[in-house]
Chain A
Amino acid sequence: MNTIKAVFSKTAAAFLIAGTILGGGAEIAHADSTLTIATVNNGDMIVMRELSSEFEKAHPGVHLNWVTLEENILRQRVTTDIATGAGQFDVMTIGNYEVPIWAKQKWLVELKPDANYDLDDLIPTVRSGLTVDGKLYAMPFYAESVMTYYRKDLFQKAGLTMPEAPTYDQIRQYADKLTNKSNQIYGVCLRGKPGWGENMAFVTSLANTYGGQWFGMGWKPMLDTPAWKGAINWYVSALNADGPPGATSNGFNENLALFSTGHCAMWIDSTVAGGLLFDPKQSQVADKVGFTASPKGPYGKGPTWLWTWNLAVPASSKHIQDAEAFVTWATSKDYVNLVAQKKGWVAAPAGTRKSTYENAEYQKAAPFAKFVENAINEAGPDAPTAEPRPYTGAQFVSIPQFQAIGTQVGQTIAAALSGQMTVDQALAASQASTTRTMRQTGYLH
């Protein structure tokens, strides 16, 4: 018995020593004014991180700690942190999907910038997406909408002209003509990878212009309507006939890689691709890219696409004042000018400020600027759908359940795309699963 006690006490002592050694090395003391900023690894954020030393210079005593994560990991990480009030982060990079939902939960601090910030300079659609009950809960860092990219050289060779406002039927006709599978040229590239922010961003925007919508008044799902059937039939048939192989695994980046290496004749996706496709360092077709508005379906109206990356201060932050100062700095006109000065106007954060688009130098450096501005102005996250709707959002539905619903429906649409089920079966299954979730969460009775 004594020997067991001896073994136990020696083991416990060793554990304590190991714990003390580890613990001693691990907890690095924080200065009071160290801000931890959670962000994604997108080009504009990398520039912000590089230039943030200017903020530190202007605010002596405030130090910045950066946590850069992949988008989905970041979303899970900051959601856990904010929901438990752990306070690990002082500034969070979040989308316009999260801002109104989190603001209603009282998870975000209301932001009140001074007159210098010039709130009226923010593009109204962008600003309204971050405002709840007249209060601003995040500041826009950059914004994106949807555009059609096409290869001018291939169009010219085929004797085609891209109209300023194409329709989806026209896109299909051009795609049929331009597809040359033996040379690995695909008429149209579109998102197929399942996910609420992947294929469903494009599909929702497509369904809206076909006259479809996610929910009618009273939150009744409307996924088995003729409008959705028309939209999904177009999508599945176009991608199967003219799309690249394995389209169900293509998201934004995969299509970006395909287009920039010359394999896509057309691509309908986020306006943020403009800067990347026109950059000769990243794109082999930089001098051959044309762009036009996103296509229209039979309905011709409806919300299109608006995604903004924003900086917000969580209510659990222990340095709210300094965090607000940083958020204000990184989204100010001065910051836009600083980026222009250090990295050139083409690198300036897009889609948030009217003054950026009024700047002649920006217009010169970014030939797609006017299209982006128009696309954002017309994105219409609050615009009416064919029938009245109880929700806002352009390419998403602004309710907490949408991440789950969108991803589930996205998987079913991907199954239709890969031929595992018919379009009708996919939409019936989507309607059933969405109805079930809406019942379970109390929206539907």
Chain B
Amino acid sequence: MAGQRARGKSLVIAAVGWVVAIWIFFPIFWMFLTSFKGEAGAIATPPRLFFVPTLESYHEVFQRANYWRVTFNTLGVSIGATVVALLFSIPAAYAMAFLPGKRTRGTLLWMLSTRMLPPVGVLVPIYLIARNTHLLDTVTGLALVDMFTNMPITVWMLYTFFREIPVPILEAGRMDGANRWQEITRVLLPLATPGIASTALLSMILCWNEAFWSLNLTSSNAAPLAAFIASFSSPEGLFFGKLSAASTLAVAPILAFGWISQKQLVRGLTFGAVK
């Protein structure tokens, strides 16, 4: 009886899980389907689930824009911003987790508060800084801005992961004569690898999907995938097929990357969940 109830419960949980998963995945699936419908098929009512697929939209997207260049720019921005953010965030999180001071908590909250301002509020000052430092429309400029906007999140995440690491392990390292650098590189980092990997992945995804700064700080040379997608939306005329094709191409690399690193990501996100 109890076994049956438990089985019933797990079936309900599985069903709810599937409903939520389908709910989340459906827009992506529909975008993927629309990208093969052509413009007339994309707006057909009632919407068609079965149709003769065409590569017309992809053909036009590749003809009109340089997909490989924008993907390369996006990779440059995402990897660059993530690497530099980690280089700063690891020592910052280390200091806050293991050497907390009177103002550590306040500093952490203050860092997070920078995320509470709508980006458009600082558009003009950042645009002027980028103009004066010749960083407009450069991968470096966009990577720097993405790094600064993501840093509060990376510091917070790493701080949480580091706090889960037992201090006696670090102390044991120190007892064996490890200096601060060795303590971080030989003891802390290997222990926190899943946490660092998931922080890096999250930062990569945030940079990949970032649209506001990507659209405002770049024009042609450093335009990333967000600008590529925006170029296929039109105020006058049908564009759903082409826009879907461009969006599918834009999310494909990060989706594949997410799938490959799924295990690591889940491990990192649940790191320390059970003490």
Answer whether A and B are interacting partners: yes
| A134 contacts B by Cβ under 8 Å | no
Residues of B within 8 A of A19 (CB): 84, 140
| B113-148 contacts to A (CB < 8 Å) | 123-124, 127-128, 131, 134, 136-141, 143
A36, B128: Cβ atoms closer than 8 Å: no
- CB neighbours (8 Å) of B39 from chain A are 281-282
Q: Which of A42, A67, A258 contacts B234 (CB 8 A)?
A: A42
A6 an interface residue at 8 Å Cβ cutoff? yes
From 75 to 113 in chain B, residues with beta carbon under 8 angstroms from any chain A beta carbon are 76, 80, 83-84, 87-88, 91
Given contacts A252-B235, A261-B43, A88 and B216 within 8 Å (CB-CB): no
B232 within 8 A of partner (CB): yes
Q: Is the CB of B140 within 8 A of A69?
A: no
Set A28, A81, A261: member contacting B221, Cβ < 8 A: A28
Which of A8-16, A317-325, A364-372, A418-426 is near enough to bind chain B? A8-16
Asked if B45 is at the interface (CB within 8 A of a chain A CB), the reply is yes
Which one of A7, A28, A77, A89 lies within 8 Å of B216 (CB-CB)?
A77
The secondary-structure label for the interface of chain A is helix
State the CA gap A249–B184 with chains docked (Å).
55
A306 at the interface (CB under 8 A from B): no
A3 touches B223 (CB 8 A): no
Assess whether B222 is interfacial by the CB under 8 Å rule. Answer: yes
Contact across chains for B237 and A43 when beta carbons are under 8 A apart: yes
The CA of A261 and the CA of B237, in the complex, are separated in Å by 14
B235 closest partner in A (C-beta): A71
Count chain A residues whose beta carbon lies closer than 8 angstroms to a beta carbon of B: 61
Contact of B238 among A3, A65, A197, A253 (CB under 8 A): A253
- Greatest chain B CB density within 10 A among A3, A260, A276, A281 is at A3
Residues of A within 8 A of B237 (CB): 42-43, 253, 256, 276, 282
CB distance from A14 to the nearest CB of B (A): 5
Q: Is B233 an interface residue (CB 8 A)?
A: yes
Which of the residues B91, B131, B238 comes within 8 Å of A8, measured between beta carbons? B91
Contacts of A46 in B (CB 8 A): 64
Interface size on B, residues (CB 8 A): 48
Instruction: Closest B residue to A13 by CB, please name it.
Output: B87
C-alpha gap A11/B234 in the complex (Å): 45
State the CA gap A86–B80 with chains docked (Å): 25
* A3: chain B residues within 8 A (beta carbon): 179-181
Chain A residues with Cβ under 8 A from B138's Cβ? 23, 26-27
Report how far A10 CA is from B138 CA in the complex, Å.
26
Tell me whether B180 and A25 are in contact (CB under 8 A).
Answer: no
B38, closest chain A residue (CB): A281
Contacts A77-B215, A84-B124, A282-B40 known; 8 new A-B pairs at CB < 8 A: A6-B180, A8-B91, A18-B83, A42-B236, A67-B227, A76-B216, A80-B127, A261-B44
| Chain A residues within CB distance 8 Å of chain B | 2-4, 6-8, 10-11, 14-15, 18-19, 21-23, 25-28, 36, 38, 40-43, 46, 49, 65-71, 73, 76-77, 80-81, 83-84, 86, 88-89, 184, 197, 252-253, 256-258, 260-261, 263, 270, 272-273, 276, 281-282, 284
